[in-house]
Amino acid sequence: MELATLKALADDTRYSVYRELTNASAPLSAQELADRLGVHANTVRMHLDRLRTVGLVEVESVHRGTVGRPQHTFSATVAPTEADTAATSATLLAGLLGTLAERTGATKSEAISTGRSWGREVAAQSQGRGCLPVLDTELSDLGFSPEVGRGDGTSEGGVRIEFLQCPFRELAEAYPELICNLHRGLCEGVVDFIGGGRVLEFSTLYDPEPCHVTVATATK
């Protein structure tokens, strides 16, 4: 989902307007939407304009054979499949949680702490593997397409793992302080729980050399 779309749906009322249209069997007027949602028609029109801007809604002019302006009716541009709806809902929920965390003052350290808890849960199921293989597997499963650099990790330079893709990029662009540090905490949690290594460096989306983690493992 595009960032502009995510932001458009982050408003509760606007999302309700969109859901009414996706669930409707026929196009609806602004007044019909207002009646269903219990809000003023002008409020609905404002939200419809935003949804049209990002391409989620289309408008049709209906001529009823009477004097005056035609009535405008609105419909969702795409009827989502069950899979699409699930993916959209998950993305929307993530965006709403990011907005909520930002508004309630969630800090960088809290994001890292939450990520570490996540990482420890992952590492607890590692079945005796080392921290680098576990971290590489988890990053792959999440969709980061990690590329492990050369080296055995025993020098202070460590092993650098590049993130060739970011499945949370749109969210990271919207909430970099939270999303990137949640990811950082995940990496630290995996390494700390398994032991025998440490995270030397983590670069976020906006660092000079973005999107990688460097891990050093203990010399045997």
pLDDT of residue 141: 83
Q: Which residues contact 67 (CB under 8 A, 6 or more apart)?
A: none
pLDDT of residue 87: 52
Q: Quote the domain boundaries for residue 204.
A: 106-217
Domain count, the chain: 2
The answer to whether residue 32 is domain-embedded is yes
H or E element that contains 74: strand 71-76
**Where among 27, 53, 85 does a domain terminate?**
85
Residue 198 and residue 120 share a domain: yes
pLDDT of residue 91: 61
| DSSP one-letter string for 184-200 | HHHHHHHHHHH-SEEEE
Among the residue ranges 40-44, 79-83, 156-160, 191-195, the one predicted with the least confidence is: 79-83
Q: Which residues contact 138 (CB under 8 A, 6 or more apart)?
A: 119, 122, 186, 190
Distance separating alpha carbons of residues 20 and 33, to the nearest angstrom: 7
Is residue 83 very low, low, confident or very high in pLDDT (cuts 50, 70, 90)?
A: very low
Residue 121 and residue 190 share a domain: yes
Where residue 44 sits, what CATH number does that domain have? 1.10.10.10
Among the residue ranges 22-26, 62-66, 106-110, the one predicted with the least confidence is: 62-66
Say whether pLDDT at 153 is over 50.
no
| DSSP one-letter string for 31-72 | HHHHHHHTS-HHHHHHHHHHHHHTTSEEEEEE--SSSSPPEE
pLDDT of residue 152: 46
**Partners of 198 in the β-ladder:** 216
Residue 111 and residue 80 share a domain: no
* Percent of the chain at pLDDT exceeding 70: 79
Residue 150 and residue 78 share a domain: no
Among the residue ranges 38-47, 51-60, 121-130, the one predicted with the least confidence is: 121-130
pTM above 0.75, yes or no: no
